[in-house]
Amino acid sequence: MTDAPADQPAVLAERRGNVMVITINRPEARNAVNGAVSVGVGNALDEAQRDPDVRAVVITGAGDKSFCAGADLKAISRRENIYHPDRPEWGFAGYVHHFIDKPTIAAVNGTALGGGTELALASDLVVADERAKFGLPEVKRGLIAAAGGVFRIVQQLPRKVGMELLLTGEPITAADACEWGLINQVVKGGTVLDAALDLAARVTVNAPLSVQASKRIAYGVDDGVVTDEEAGWARTMNEMRGLLRSEDAREGPLAFAEKREPVWKAR
């Protein structure tokens, strides 16, 4: 993966009427998440929460190939912090553990594997390009979907379907994701942002305080925290700490980098 040009911000935030559109702007890196992305997305989301004139948020990726390729492995290999330095509790991309009252819509413009799927899972509504794919391939690398993917996928899909995605690591098409209710709409290539804005307009025409209260109740939010998910986050972090000490967690990324099949040792 390559870095975006120095004069280009990693994240773009713009207003479309009463909707904030957040764009991960690293198409050269398949919109992979590094520290700059987490800062840009997290701060934009925080701004949207604080501004009463913002009634909804749309998050998308630049270009037409990838919504988000997950974490920037080059940044990680350089031991860079890929989280928001001041608000690490916001999680991956400053988004997945960052609850706001305003409705969030993912406009999935391309492939969304791993962290990209986790961004979609963290959104209230999802519109996807017909070419998009979703999946959590972390088990193929000796890891887990630690940005909320493990527990959210089985909440948002029938358990057996979610478990198949988790345990096989295999992707599904946008059409299949829509059929199973993981996403709301599938649209023709190149139209996903317009479709997401159309959906946002159907939301923002309603009374904003009623919409926000409905969202808080639906998620079971107390003091800005989705309380039912906190145990899932704690289990994820506990399991991840153990996995990162394993030989398999080192073998998975190494085999991927060397373009060979991994040799698992279960230790």
DSSP track, 184-250: SEEE-TT-HHHHHHHHHHHHHTS-HHHHHHHHHHHHTEETTEEGGGHHHHHHHHHHHHHHHTSHHHH
Whole-angstrom Cα Rg for the chain: 18
Q: CATH code for 11-222?
A: 3.90.226.10
**230 has catalytic annotation:** no
Q: In degrees rounded to 5, what are phi and psi of residue 150? A: -60, -50
Contacts of 212 (CB under 8 A, 6+ apart): 101, 102
**28 has catalytic annotation:** no
pLDDT in tens, the chain (267 residues): 344 455 799 999 999 999 999 999 999 999 999 999 999 999 999 999 999 999 999 999 999 999 999 999 888 878 899 999 999 999 999 999 999 999 999 999 999 999 999 999 999 999 999 999 999 999 998 999 999 999 999 999 999 999 999 999 999 999 999 999 999 999 999 999 999 999 999 999 999 999 999 999 999 999 999 999 999 999 999 999 999 999 999 898 888 878 899 999 999
Global pTM reads 0.94
Annotated catalytic residue within 89, 138, 179, 239: 138
Q: Tokens at residue 197, please?
A: 């804005």
Annotated catalytic residue within 28, 80, 89, 118: 118
User: In the chain, what are the domain boundaries?
Assistant: 11-222
